[in-house]
Amino acid sequence: MQDGDDSRPILIVPYMWIGDFVRGHTVVRVLRERWPNRPVDLLTTSLCAPLVDYMPGVRRGIVWDLPRSRLAVARQIGLAGLLRERNYGTALVLPRTWKAAIAPTLAGIPERVGFVGELRFGLINQWRWGERKLPRFIDKNAVLALPDGAPLPPEWPVPQLRVPPEEIARWRQAQGLSLGTAVALAPGSMGASKRWPYYPEAARRLIEQGLDVWVVGGPAEKALAAAIVAAGGPRVRDLTGTDLRNGVLAMAAASVAISNDSGLMHIAAALGTPTMGIFGPTSPYLWAPLNGLAATVQSATRLSCQPCQRTVCRMNDHRCMRDISAAEVVKIAQRVLREAVSRAST
C-alpha cells in the first residue's frame, strides 16, 4: 500500500556487519514501495559506507563510527545533533539494542520504530512485538518497514547493488587485470568454523583450467591470500585490502564468486554475479542471500551437529567443511560458468 502524500525523510539504523548491511537494502526497497516520496537515508560505519554508493533508492549515508564495546556518550550526542539537522520523520531501528536507539531519541525523531528489546521504553515509541516468531533475520528486519500487524509478503524484494560498467572497467585497468574469465575467491568469514579449508587447492585447479583467480577480502585475510597465491602461482592476484569498495568492484568484475557464508557472499549475490556459497555450520535457509545462489555447496553427508551456528567447531573435527572437496567445488564452478555464458549468449 502506497502513501504518496508523506515526504518526511526516513532514517534506517541497520546492523553494521557487512552481510547484514547488504541485506538491509531489502528494508530500503520495502520503504520506497510504501512511501515513494519519502527520502531514505542509512546510518553507516566507515567500513560499510562504500556500499551505500551502489544501493538504489538510498539518498545518502550518514557516516558515524560508534565503538562496539562502550556507550560513548559524546559520540552519541554528536550523532544526535547531525540527525536533528536532517529533520527525519521516522527512524527504523533494526538492532534491538538499547544503544542503537539513543541518538534517534536525542535527535527528537518523532517516530522511532523497533522491536521490544533491552528495556528500551522511552527510546522506541512505536513498539513491535513477536520478533521471536519470525523465522529469518530478513523477516525480523523488513517487517519493521510494513504497517504494524501487516502479514509477511510471500517474497521480499531482494537486495541490489549496482555498479556502473565504466567504473568496473576503470578499476580493472587500474589493477592491471586482464579481461580474461576470473573467479573471485572469498576465503574469510566471521568465525573460523565457516571457513572452507581448501581454497589453495581449488585455486590451483582453477588455474589449470585456464582461469584467472582473484582473492578478495579484508586485512584479516592476508595470510589466507598468501597461501592461495603460493598454491596457484602468478595468475592468482591478492586483492585483499582495507577498502571495501575494492571488494565490491572485484565481485562486480568477476565471472563467478566462490565464498564462505560471509559479507562478500551477500555483496556478490546482490551485484548479480553468479555466486557459490559454501555452507557448513550455518543454515542456507536462514543465512543465504535472498537473491539466490548459483550453487549452494554443502557436504553430502549431513552431520548430527549441523547447523550449530558456532564460530568455532567443537564437534566432529570440522567435517561439515572438510568433507567438501576442492575437486567438487571446481566442478560446480565450471558448471556455473557454462550456465553464465549460455545465459549471456541468449
pLDDT of residue 176: 95
Tens of pLDDT, residue by residue over 258-283, are 999 999 999 999 999 999 999 988 88
Give the residue from 145, 177, 197 where a domain finishes: 145
In a domain, 60, yes or no: yes
Tell whether 180 and 279 lie within a shared domain. yes
Tell whether 314 and 278 lie within a shared domain. yes
Residues (pLDDT < 70) of the chain are 1-4, 313, 316-317
How far, CA to CA in Å, does 294 sit from each of 276, 277, 334, 335?
6, 8, 11, 10
How many domains is the chain partitioned into structurally?
Answer: 2
How far, CA to CA in Å, does 281 sit from each of 6, 257, 291, 309?
44, 20, 21, 5
Query: CA-to-CA distance for 208 and 263, rounded, in angstroms?
Result: 28
Tell whether 117 and 34 lie within a shared domain. yes
Tell whether 131 and 177 lie within a shared domain. no
pLDDT of residue 318: 80
pLDDT of residue 76: 95
Tens of pLDDT, residue by residue over 20-64, are 999 999 999 999 999 999 999 999 999 999 999 999 999 999 999
Tell whether 88 and 198 lie within a shared domain. no
Residue-number span of the structural domain to which 108 is assigned: 10-145
pLDDT of residue 342: 82
- Does residue 125 come out as left (phi exceeding 0), alpha (psi in the -120 to 50 range) or beta? alpha
In a domain, 240, yes or no: yes
Tell whether 172 and 262 lie within a shared domain. yes
pLDDT of residue 153: 94
CATH, residue 43:
3.40.50.2000
Query: CA-to-CA distance for 91 and 111, rounded, in angstroms?
Result: 6
